[in-house]
Structure 1
Amino acid sequence: MTILAIFNQKGGVGKTTTAMNLAAAMAHNGMEPLMIDLDPQAHLTATSGVTVNSEDSIFAFYRDNKPLTELVKPLPNGVNLIPSHVELAKVDTLYRKTGSIIMRLRHALYDEMLAASGVPIVIDCCPFLGILSINAIAAADGMIIPIAAEYLAMKGATQLENTLEAMSRLADKRIPRRFVVTRYVPSRRLSAHIIGEMRDRYGPELCKTKIQENSSITESAGYNQDIFAFAPKSKGAKDYGFLLDELVESGFIKLPG
Protein backbone atom coordinates (compact mmCIF):
# COMPACT_ATOMS: atom_id res chain seq x y z
CA MET A 1 0.00 0.00 0.00
CA THR A 2 1.19 3.51 -0.81
CA ILE A 3 -0.23 6.91 0.15
CA LEU A 4 0.82 9.54 -2.39
CA ALA A 5 0.52 13.31 -2.03
CA ILE A 6 0.43 15.23 -5.33
CA PHE A 7 1.73 18.75 -4.69
CA ASN A 8 2.98 21.89 -6.37
CA GLN A 9 2.43 25.46 -5.27
CA LYS A 10 2.35 26.68 -8.88
CA GLY A 11 -0.87 26.44 -10.82
CA GLY A 12 -1.22 25.08 -14.33
CA VAL A 13 1.42 22.36 -14.00
CA GLY A 14 -0.97 19.39 -14.08
CA LYS A 15 -1.29 18.62 -10.36
CA THR A 16 -4.97 17.66 -10.39
CA THR A 17 -4.67 16.13 -13.86
CA THR A 18 -1.83 13.93 -12.64
CA ALA A 19 -3.76 12.90 -9.52
CA MET A 20 -6.81 11.97 -11.59
CA ASN A 21 -5.03 10.13 -14.39
CA LEU A 22 -2.48 8.34 -12.22
CA ALA A 23 -5.36 7.01 -10.11
CA ALA A 24 -7.19 6.06 -13.32
CA ALA A 25 -4.09 4.19 -14.51
CA MET A 26 -4.13 2.29 -11.21
CA ALA A 27 -7.81 1.41 -11.69
CA HIS A 28 -7.05 0.37 -15.27
CA ASN A 29 -4.62 -2.14 -13.76
CA GLY A 30 -7.12 -3.46 -11.20
CA MET A 31 -5.83 -1.58 -8.12
CA GLU A 32 -9.11 0.16 -7.08
CA PRO A 33 -7.40 3.30 -5.72
CA LEU A 34 -8.83 5.92 -3.39
CA MET A 35 -8.49 9.61 -4.29
CA ILE A 36 -8.80 12.32 -1.64
CA ASP A 37 -9.48 15.86 -2.86
CA LEU A 38 -7.77 18.00 -0.22
CA ASP A 39 -7.97 21.22 -2.22
CA PRO A 40 -10.76 23.75 -1.39
CA GLN A 41 -10.90 24.61 -5.10
CA ALA A 42 -12.34 21.09 -5.54
CA HIS A 43 -11.10 20.76 -9.11
CA LEU A 44 -10.54 17.01 -8.75
CA THR A 45 -14.09 16.61 -7.48
CA ALA A 46 -15.52 18.69 -10.33
CA THR A 47 -13.55 16.95 -13.08
CA SER A 48 -14.69 13.62 -11.64
CA GLY A 49 -18.29 14.74 -12.24
CA VAL A 50 -19.15 14.77 -8.52
CA THR A 51 -21.22 17.45 -6.77
CA VAL A 52 -21.74 17.28 -2.99
CA ASN A 53 -22.75 19.45 -0.07
CA SER A 54 -20.11 20.32 2.50
CA GLU A 55 -21.63 17.69 4.85
CA ASP A 56 -20.70 14.96 2.38
CA SER A 57 -17.20 16.25 1.66
CA ILE A 58 -13.82 15.99 3.36
CA PHE A 59 -14.74 19.21 5.21
CA ALA A 60 -17.17 17.18 7.35
CA PHE A 61 -14.24 15.03 8.45
CA TYR A 62 -12.38 18.06 9.78
CA ARG A 63 -15.35 19.99 11.18
CA ASP A 64 -17.63 17.22 12.44
CA ASN A 65 -15.30 14.23 12.83
CA LYS A 66 -17.30 12.36 10.20
CA PRO A 67 -15.55 9.06 9.32
CA LEU A 68 -13.68 9.05 6.02
CA THR A 69 -15.37 5.79 5.05
CA GLU A 70 -18.76 7.55 5.09
CA LEU A 71 -17.54 10.11 2.57
CA VAL A 72 -16.28 7.75 -0.16
CA LYS A 73 -17.97 8.07 -3.56
CA PRO A 74 -17.39 5.28 -6.12
CA LEU A 75 -16.71 6.51 -9.66
CA PRO A 76 -17.60 4.71 -12.92
CA ASN A 77 -13.90 4.14 -13.78
CA GLY A 78 -13.22 2.00 -10.70
CA VAL A 79 -11.68 4.80 -8.64
CA ASN A 80 -13.13 5.82 -5.26
CA LEU A 81 -13.21 9.51 -4.32
CA ILE A 82 -13.51 11.45 -1.09
CA PRO A 83 -14.71 14.78 -2.53
CA SER A 84 -13.87 18.33 -1.55
CA HIS A 85 -15.95 21.49 -1.08
CA VAL A 86 -15.15 25.20 -1.04
CA GLU A 87 -15.94 25.22 2.72
CA LEU A 88 -12.69 23.28 3.20
CA ALA A 89 -10.92 26.64 3.02
CA LYS A 90 -12.12 27.28 6.59
CA VAL A 91 -9.94 24.51 8.05
CA ASP A 92 -6.91 26.76 8.54
CA THR A 93 -9.04 29.18 10.55
CA LEU A 94 -10.67 26.42 12.61
CA TYR A 95 -7.40 24.78 13.63
CA ARG A 96 -4.69 27.45 13.39
CA LYS A 97 -4.16 27.46 17.18
CA THR A 98 -3.70 23.73 17.63
CA GLY A 99 -0.86 21.43 16.58
CA SER A 100 -2.85 18.22 16.96
CA ILE A 101 -4.39 18.67 13.53
CA ILE A 102 -1.11 17.87 11.73
CA MET A 103 -1.53 14.08 12.07
CA ARG A 104 -5.33 14.11 11.80
CA LEU A 105 -5.60 12.62 8.32
CA ARG A 106 -2.87 10.01 8.84
CA HIS A 107 -4.43 8.76 12.08
CA ALA A 108 -7.86 8.49 10.43
CA LEU A 109 -6.50 6.56 7.43
CA TYR A 110 -4.97 4.00 9.78
CA ASP A 111 -7.73 3.96 12.43
CA GLU A 112 -10.38 3.36 9.75
CA MET A 113 -8.26 0.64 8.12
CA LEU A 114 -8.07 2.51 4.81
CA ALA A 115 -4.29 2.54 4.95
CA ALA A 116 -4.30 -1.22 5.57
CA SER A 117 -6.80 -2.01 2.83
CA GLY A 118 -4.11 -2.84 0.27
CA VAL A 119 -5.16 -0.13 -2.21
CA PRO A 120 -3.13 2.96 -3.14
CA ILE A 121 -4.36 6.34 -1.89
CA VAL A 122 -3.80 9.48 -3.97
CA ILE A 123 -4.17 12.88 -2.26
CA ASP A 124 -4.60 15.99 -4.41
CA CYS A 125 -3.09 18.78 -2.27
CA CYS A 126 -3.98 22.46 -2.22
CA PRO A 127 -1.31 24.64 -3.88
CA PHE A 128 -0.05 26.46 -0.81
CA LEU A 129 1.58 25.74 2.52
CA GLY A 130 -1.08 25.34 5.22
CA ILE A 131 -2.78 22.86 7.51
CA LEU A 132 -4.26 20.83 4.64
CA SER A 133 -0.98 20.42 2.77
CA ILE A 134 0.85 19.53 5.97
CA ASN A 135 -1.88 16.96 6.73
CA ALA A 136 -1.28 15.39 3.33
CA ILE A 137 2.50 15.28 3.75
CA ALA A 138 2.22 13.85 7.26
CA ALA A 139 -0.08 11.12 5.94
CA ALA A 140 1.90 10.29 2.80
CA ASP A 141 4.49 7.63 2.08
CA GLY A 142 5.64 9.50 -1.00
CA MET A 143 5.17 12.80 -2.81
CA ILE A 144 4.80 13.44 -6.54
CA ILE A 145 5.57 16.94 -7.79
CA PRO A 146 4.47 17.72 -11.36
CA ILE A 147 6.58 20.44 -13.03
CA ALA A 148 5.70 21.87 -16.43
CA ALA A 149 8.49 21.93 -19.03
CA GLU A 150 8.39 25.72 -19.12
CA TYR A 151 10.82 28.48 -18.22
CA LEU A 152 8.71 30.00 -15.43
CA ALA A 153 8.23 26.59 -13.83
CA MET A 154 11.99 26.20 -13.54
CA LYS A 155 12.34 29.75 -12.21
CA GLY A 156 10.05 28.77 -9.35
CA ALA A 157 11.97 25.59 -8.54
CA THR A 158 13.99 27.16 -5.73
CA GLN A 159 10.86 28.49 -4.07
CA LEU A 160 9.26 25.06 -4.48
CA GLU A 161 12.20 23.34 -2.80
CA ASN A 162 12.02 25.80 0.11
CA THR A 163 8.31 25.08 0.48
CA LEU A 164 8.88 21.31 0.40
CA GLU A 165 11.56 21.56 3.08
CA ALA A 166 9.30 23.73 5.25
CA MET A 167 6.48 21.20 4.88
CA SER A 168 8.82 18.35 5.80
CA ARG A 169 9.92 20.14 8.96
CA LEU A 170 6.35 20.88 10.00
CA ALA A 171 5.28 17.28 9.31
CA ASP A 172 8.44 16.09 11.11
CA LYS A 173 9.62 13.86 8.27
CA ARG A 174 11.11 14.01 4.78
CA ILE A 175 9.22 11.60 2.61
CA PRO A 176 10.52 10.19 -0.69
CA ARG A 177 9.61 12.32 -3.68
CA ARG A 178 9.50 12.12 -7.45
CA PHE A 179 9.36 15.02 -9.89
CA VAL A 180 7.31 14.47 -13.05
CA VAL A 181 7.71 16.62 -16.16
CA THR A 182 4.36 17.65 -17.64
CA ARG A 183 3.34 19.63 -20.73
CA TYR A 184 6.43 18.31 -22.49
CA VAL A 185 6.85 19.09 -26.22
CA PRO A 186 9.67 16.96 -27.72
CA SER A 187 10.12 19.25 -30.74
CA ARG A 188 10.54 22.36 -28.60
CA ARG A 189 14.24 23.18 -28.09
CA LEU A 190 13.55 24.83 -24.73
CA SER A 191 12.00 21.60 -23.44
CA ALA A 192 15.29 19.72 -23.86
CA HIS A 193 17.15 22.51 -22.06
CA ILE A 194 14.68 22.47 -19.15
CA ILE A 195 14.88 18.68 -18.89
CA GLY A 196 18.66 18.98 -18.60
CA GLU A 197 18.33 21.54 -15.81
CA MET A 198 15.81 19.38 -13.99
CA ARG A 199 18.07 16.34 -14.28
CA ASP A 200 20.97 18.31 -12.79
CA ARG A 201 18.78 19.65 -9.98
CA TYR A 202 16.77 16.55 -9.02
CA GLY A 203 18.95 13.65 -10.17
CA PRO A 204 17.36 10.23 -9.62
CA GLU A 205 14.26 11.87 -8.14
CA LEU A 206 13.28 13.02 -11.65
CA CYS A 207 11.05 10.47 -13.37
CA LYS A 208 12.19 9.25 -16.77
CA THR A 209 8.62 9.27 -18.01
CA LYS A 210 7.45 12.63 -19.35
CA ILE A 211 3.81 13.64 -19.77
CA GLN A 212 3.64 15.14 -23.25
CA GLU A 213 1.44 18.11 -24.13
CA ASN A 214 -1.70 16.45 -25.46
CA SER A 215 -5.08 17.98 -26.31
CA SER A 216 -6.90 14.81 -25.22
CA ILE A 217 -5.74 15.34 -21.63
CA THR A 218 -7.24 18.83 -21.57
CA GLU A 219 -10.44 17.77 -23.32
CA SER A 220 -11.02 14.76 -21.08
CA ALA A 221 -11.35 16.98 -18.00
CA GLY A 222 -14.04 18.99 -19.76
CA TYR A 223 -16.06 15.81 -20.24
CA ASN A 224 -15.55 14.71 -16.60
CA GLN A 225 -13.52 11.73 -17.72
CA ASP A 226 -10.01 10.47 -17.12
CA ILE A 227 -7.73 10.06 -20.13
CA PHE A 228 -8.19 6.26 -20.24
CA ALA A 229 -11.96 6.57 -20.52
CA PHE A 230 -11.86 9.53 -22.92
CA ALA A 231 -9.02 8.58 -25.26
CA PRO A 232 -7.47 5.23 -24.30
CA LYS A 233 -5.14 5.16 -27.32
CA SER A 234 -3.87 8.72 -26.96
CA LYS A 235 -0.33 9.77 -26.06
CA GLY A 236 -1.68 11.03 -22.75
CA ALA A 237 -3.04 7.61 -21.79
CA LYS A 238 0.22 5.93 -22.79
CA ASP A 239 2.29 8.45 -20.81
CA TYR A 240 0.30 8.02 -17.60
CA GLY A 241 0.40 4.26 -18.05
CA PHE A 242 4.19 4.42 -18.44
CA LEU A 243 4.44 6.69 -15.39
CA LEU A 244 2.60 4.17 -13.23
CA ASP A 245 4.82 1.36 -14.55
CA GLU A 246 7.95 3.35 -13.69
CA LEU A 247 6.76 4.18 -10.16
CA VAL A 248 5.81 0.55 -9.47
CA GLU A 249 8.95 -0.97 -10.98
CA SER A 250 11.18 1.41 -9.01
CA GLY A 251 9.39 0.50 -5.78
CA PHE A 252 8.08 4.02 -5.24
CA ILE A 253 4.54 2.62 -5.34
CA LYS A 254 4.30 -0.59 -3.34
CA LEU A 255 1.64 -3.10 -4.27
CA PRO A 256 0.13 -5.59 -1.76
CA GLY A 257 1.81 -8.97 -1.69
Structure 2
Amino acid sequence: MCGRFALTATPDQTATFLGVDEIEPFPARYNIAPTQPVLMTLAGAPRDPGSNRSDRTAVLVRWGLIPAWVKDTRDFPLLLNARSESAAEKASFRAAMRHRRALVPASGFYEWRQTGGRKGQAYWIRPAHGGLVAFAGLMETYAEPGGSEMDTGAIMTTAANTDIAHIHDRMPVVIHPGDFSRWLDCRGQEPRDVADLLRPAEPGFFEAIPVSDLVNKVANTGPEIQERFVASSEGDAPQQKAAKPGRKKPGDDTDQMSLF
Protein backbone atom coordinates (compact mmCIF):
# COMPACT_ATOMS: atom_id res chain seq x y z
CA MET A 1 0.00 0.00 0.00
CA CYS A 2 0.98 3.65 0.02
CA GLY A 3 0.07 5.53 3.19
CA ARG A 4 2.60 8.40 3.20
CA PHE A 5 4.51 10.20 0.47
CA ALA A 6 6.31 13.45 -0.25
CA LEU A 7 6.35 16.17 -2.89
CA THR A 8 9.32 18.47 -2.45
CA ALA A 9 9.85 19.78 -6.00
CA THR A 10 8.94 23.37 -6.81
CA PRO A 11 5.60 24.19 -8.45
CA ASP A 12 7.40 25.06 -11.70
CA GLN A 13 9.30 21.76 -11.70
CA THR A 14 6.10 19.88 -10.99
CA ALA A 15 4.15 21.70 -13.72
CA THR A 16 6.86 20.97 -16.29
CA PHE A 17 6.99 17.31 -15.31
CA LEU A 18 3.21 16.89 -15.55
CA GLY A 19 2.82 18.95 -18.71
CA VAL A 20 0.40 21.48 -17.25
CA ASP A 21 0.56 25.21 -17.93
CA GLU A 22 0.90 26.27 -14.32
CA ILE A 23 0.32 25.14 -10.76
CA GLU A 24 -0.63 27.33 -7.82
CA PRO A 25 2.27 27.87 -5.39
CA PHE A 26 2.69 25.22 -2.70
CA PRO A 27 5.33 24.48 -0.06
CA ALA A 28 7.64 21.49 -0.03
CA ARG A 29 5.74 18.67 1.69
CA TYR A 30 7.80 15.94 3.32
CA ASN A 31 5.12 13.89 5.06
CA ILE A 32 1.80 13.85 3.17
CA ALA A 33 -0.75 11.81 5.10
CA PRO A 34 -4.29 10.48 4.55
CA THR A 35 -7.15 13.02 4.48
CA GLN A 36 -4.72 15.82 3.59
CA PRO A 37 -4.93 17.56 0.20
CA VAL A 38 -2.87 16.01 -2.57
CA LEU A 39 -2.14 17.32 -6.04
CA MET A 40 -3.63 15.41 -8.96
CA THR A 41 -3.52 16.05 -12.70
CA LEU A 42 -6.36 15.11 -15.05
CA ALA A 43 -7.07 15.60 -18.74
CA GLY A 44 -9.36 18.54 -19.32
CA ALA A 45 -11.51 19.53 -22.28
CA PRO A 46 -9.70 19.28 -25.63
CA ARG A 47 -7.99 22.53 -26.65
CA ASP A 48 -8.24 24.26 -29.99
CA PRO A 49 -5.79 22.52 -32.37
CA GLY A 50 -3.97 25.83 -32.83
CA SER A 51 -3.54 26.47 -29.11
CA ASN A 52 -0.19 25.90 -27.45
CA ARG A 53 -1.77 25.49 -24.04
CA SER A 54 -2.04 22.14 -22.30
CA ASP A 55 -5.38 20.41 -21.88
CA ARG A 56 -4.26 19.01 -18.51
CA THR A 57 -5.44 20.50 -15.24
CA ALA A 58 -3.96 20.28 -11.75
CA VAL A 59 -6.35 20.10 -8.81
CA LEU A 60 -6.18 19.55 -5.07
CA VAL A 61 -8.20 16.61 -3.77
CA ARG A 62 -8.62 15.02 -0.36
CA TRP A 63 -6.56 11.86 -0.09
CA GLY A 64 -9.18 9.21 0.62
CA LEU A 65 -11.62 8.46 -2.18
CA ILE A 66 -15.35 8.56 -1.49
CA PRO A 67 -17.55 7.03 -4.23
CA ALA A 68 -20.43 9.20 -5.41
CA TRP A 69 -22.99 6.63 -4.23
CA VAL A 70 -21.98 6.71 -0.54
CA LYS A 71 -24.82 7.94 1.68
CA ASP A 72 -23.03 8.34 5.01
CA THR A 73 -19.25 8.78 5.07
CA ARG A 74 -19.16 7.81 8.75
CA ASP A 75 -20.01 4.25 7.74
CA PHE A 76 -17.56 4.08 4.87
CA PRO A 77 -13.84 3.20 5.10
CA LEU A 78 -11.12 5.58 3.96
CA LEU A 79 -10.00 4.44 0.49
CA LEU A 80 -6.39 5.58 0.27
CA ASN A 81 -5.37 2.96 -2.27
CA ALA A 82 -7.03 1.12 -5.14
CA ARG A 83 -5.72 -2.31 -6.10
CA SER A 84 -4.91 -2.11 -9.79
CA GLU A 85 -5.80 -5.75 -10.37
CA SER A 86 -9.47 -5.20 -9.50
CA ALA A 87 -10.18 -1.44 -9.71
CA ALA A 88 -12.01 -1.67 -13.04
CA GLU A 89 -14.55 -4.10 -11.53
CA LYS A 90 -14.90 -2.76 -8.00
CA ALA A 91 -17.98 -0.61 -7.38
CA SER A 92 -15.92 1.90 -5.40
CA PHE A 93 -13.48 2.60 -8.23
CA ARG A 94 -15.23 1.53 -11.45
CA ALA A 95 -16.54 4.97 -12.43
CA ALA A 96 -13.29 6.77 -11.60
CA MET A 97 -11.28 4.16 -13.48
CA ARG A 98 -13.37 4.82 -16.55
CA HIS A 99 -13.83 8.60 -16.35
CA ARG A 100 -11.35 10.20 -13.92
CA ARG A 101 -7.89 8.65 -14.15
CA ALA A 102 -5.23 10.95 -12.74
CA LEU A 103 -1.52 11.41 -12.09
CA VAL A 104 -0.21 12.01 -8.58
CA PRO A 105 3.22 13.71 -8.60
CA ALA A 106 5.61 12.65 -5.86
CA SER A 107 9.25 12.84 -4.89
CA GLY A 108 8.93 9.39 -3.33
CA PHE A 109 6.96 7.48 -0.71
CA TYR A 110 7.41 5.84 2.68
CA GLU A 111 6.92 2.24 3.59
CA TRP A 112 7.41 0.19 6.72
CA ARG A 113 8.79 -3.31 7.04
CA GLN A 114 6.39 -5.36 9.12
CA THR A 115 7.91 -7.18 12.08
CA GLY A 116 5.73 -9.67 13.90
CA GLY A 117 2.59 -7.95 12.65
CA ARG A 118 3.81 -4.57 13.90
CA LYS A 119 5.18 -1.56 12.04
CA GLY A 120 8.97 -1.80 12.08
CA GLN A 121 11.77 -0.11 10.14
CA ALA A 122 10.65 2.85 8.03
CA TYR A 123 12.04 3.48 4.55
CA TRP A 124 12.10 6.53 2.31
CA ILE A 125 11.67 5.13 -1.21
CA ARG A 126 12.60 7.47 -4.02
CA PRO A 127 13.53 7.26 -7.72
CA ALA A 128 17.13 6.11 -7.93
CA HIS A 129 17.72 8.63 -10.75
CA GLY A 130 16.28 11.48 -8.68
CA GLY A 131 13.56 13.88 -9.71
CA LEU A 132 9.82 13.31 -9.71
CA VAL A 133 7.64 10.28 -10.25
CA ALA A 134 3.93 10.06 -11.14
CA PHE A 135 1.69 7.55 -9.40
CA ALA A 136 -1.50 6.34 -11.05
CA GLY A 137 -4.45 7.97 -9.31
CA LEU A 138 -8.23 7.95 -9.38
CA MET A 139 -10.46 10.94 -8.58
CA GLU A 140 -14.10 11.10 -7.53
CA THR A 141 -16.22 14.13 -6.67
CA TYR A 142 -18.43 13.45 -3.67
CA ALA A 143 -21.61 15.48 -3.15
CA GLU A 144 -22.40 15.81 0.54
CA PRO A 145 -26.01 15.71 1.76
CA GLY A 146 -25.89 19.46 2.43
CA GLY A 147 -25.13 20.16 -1.22
CA SER A 148 -21.41 20.94 -1.04
CA GLU A 149 -18.96 18.96 -3.18
CA MET A 150 -15.54 17.60 -2.36
CA ASP A 151 -12.96 16.17 -4.74
CA THR A 152 -11.39 13.00 -3.36
CA GLY A 153 -8.79 10.58 -4.65
CA ALA A 154 -6.85 7.36 -4.23
CA ILE A 155 -3.44 6.07 -5.32
CA MET A 156 -3.35 2.83 -7.27
CA THR A 157 -1.09 0.00 -6.13
CA THR A 158 0.34 -3.16 -7.61
CA ALA A 159 2.57 -6.03 -6.51
CA ALA A 160 5.96 -4.88 -5.25
CA ASN A 161 8.99 -5.30 -7.47
CA THR A 162 12.23 -6.92 -6.30
CA ASP A 163 13.51 -3.64 -4.85
CA ILE A 164 10.53 -3.27 -2.52
CA ALA A 165 9.30 -6.81 -1.85
CA HIS A 166 11.58 -7.29 1.18
CA ILE A 167 9.87 -4.28 2.76
CA HIS A 168 6.24 -4.64 1.66
CA ASP A 169 4.28 -6.72 -0.84
CA ARG A 170 2.61 -3.70 -2.52
CA MET A 171 3.84 -0.50 -4.14
CA PRO A 172 2.29 2.47 -5.98
CA VAL A 173 1.75 2.09 -9.73
CA VAL A 174 4.23 4.30 -11.60
CA ILE A 175 3.14 5.94 -14.85
CA HIS A 176 6.10 7.01 -16.98
CA PRO A 177 6.01 10.35 -18.83
CA GLY A 178 5.72 8.65 -22.20
CA ASP A 179 2.46 7.07 -21.03
CA PHE A 180 0.91 10.16 -19.39
CA SER A 181 -1.36 10.98 -22.33
CA ARG A 182 -2.65 7.44 -22.74
CA TRP A 183 -3.35 7.03 -19.03
CA LEU A 184 -5.20 10.35 -18.79
CA ASP A 185 -7.23 9.86 -21.98
CA CYS A 186 -10.54 8.69 -20.55
CA ARG A 187 -12.39 9.59 -23.75
CA GLY A 188 -10.46 7.35 -26.10
CA GLN A 189 -8.93 4.76 -23.78
CA GLU A 190 -11.09 2.27 -21.91
CA PRO A 191 -9.73 0.76 -18.67
CA ARG A 192 -8.84 -2.40 -20.59
CA ASP A 193 -6.77 -0.30 -23.02
CA VAL A 194 -4.49 0.98 -20.22
CA ALA A 195 -4.34 -2.21 -18.15
CA ASP A 196 -0.80 -2.85 -19.38
CA LEU A 197 0.36 0.29 -17.55
CA LEU A 198 -0.70 -1.12 -14.18
CA ARG A 199 2.48 -3.04 -13.50
CA PRO A 200 5.35 -2.85 -10.99
CA ALA A 201 8.14 -0.40 -11.70
CA GLU A 202 11.15 -1.99 -13.34
CA PRO A 203 13.92 -3.25 -11.02
CA GLY A 204 16.36 -0.51 -10.14
CA PHE A 205 13.84 2.31 -10.58
CA PHE A 206 13.56 2.97 -6.83
CA GLU A 207 16.06 3.04 -4.01
CA ALA A 208 15.00 2.39 -0.40
CA ILE A 209 16.68 4.41 2.33
CA PRO A 210 16.16 3.45 6.00
CA VAL A 211 14.94 6.41 8.05
CA SER A 212 14.02 7.03 11.67
CA ASP A 213 10.59 6.78 13.21
CA LEU A 214 10.11 10.55 12.96
CA VAL A 215 8.05 9.89 9.84
CA ASN A 216 5.54 7.93 11.95
CA LYS A 217 4.18 11.17 13.41
CA VAL A 218 2.16 13.33 11.00
CA ALA A 219 3.23 16.48 12.88
CA ASN A 220 6.83 15.92 11.76
CA THR A 221 6.95 17.64 8.38
CA GLY A 222 10.56 18.71 7.88
CA PRO A 223 13.33 17.32 5.66
CA GLU A 224 14.99 15.60 8.63
CA ILE A 225 12.50 12.74 8.37
CA GLN A 226 14.18 11.69 5.11
CA GLU A 227 17.69 11.50 6.57
CA ARG A 228 19.30 8.09 6.41
CA PHE A 229 19.14 6.22 9.72
CA VAL A 230 22.12 4.12 10.68
CA ALA A 231 21.62 1.77 13.62
CA SER A 232 24.52 1.74 16.07
CA SER A 233 24.27 -2.04 16.37
CA GLU A 234 22.16 -4.86 14.96
CA GLY A 235 18.68 -4.86 16.43
CA ASP A 236 18.70 -1.22 17.49
CA ALA A 237 15.31 0.44 17.20
CA PRO A 238 15.20 3.05 14.41
CA GLN A 239 14.31 5.93 16.68
CA GLN A 240 15.26 9.56 17.00
CA LYS A 241 14.02 12.14 19.43
CA ALA A 242 10.81 13.65 18.12
CA ALA A 243 10.21 17.39 18.17
CA LYS A 244 8.79 18.69 21.42
CA PRO A 245 5.03 19.34 21.38
CA GLY A 246 4.15 22.97 21.01
CA ARG A 247 7.32 23.94 19.13
CA LYS A 248 6.12 24.79 15.67
CA LYS A 249 8.57 23.92 12.92
CA PRO A 250 8.57 25.17 9.33
CA GLY A 251 6.14 23.07 7.36
CA ASP A 252 3.85 22.22 10.29
CA ASP A 253 0.06 22.50 9.96
CA THR A 254 -0.62 25.33 7.51
CA ASP A 255 2.37 24.43 5.34
CA GLN A 256 0.80 21.02 4.80
CA MET A 257 -2.01 22.88 3.02
CA SER A 258 -5.73 22.70 3.62
CA LEU A 259 -8.81 22.15 1.52
CA PHE A 260 -11.17 23.33 4.23
Q: Which has the higher helix share?
A: 1
State the TM-score, normalizing by the size of structure 2: 0.29
Larger Rg: 2
Point out which structure has higher relative CO (alpha carbons under 8 A, 6+ apart): 1
Q: Which has the higher strand share?
A: 2
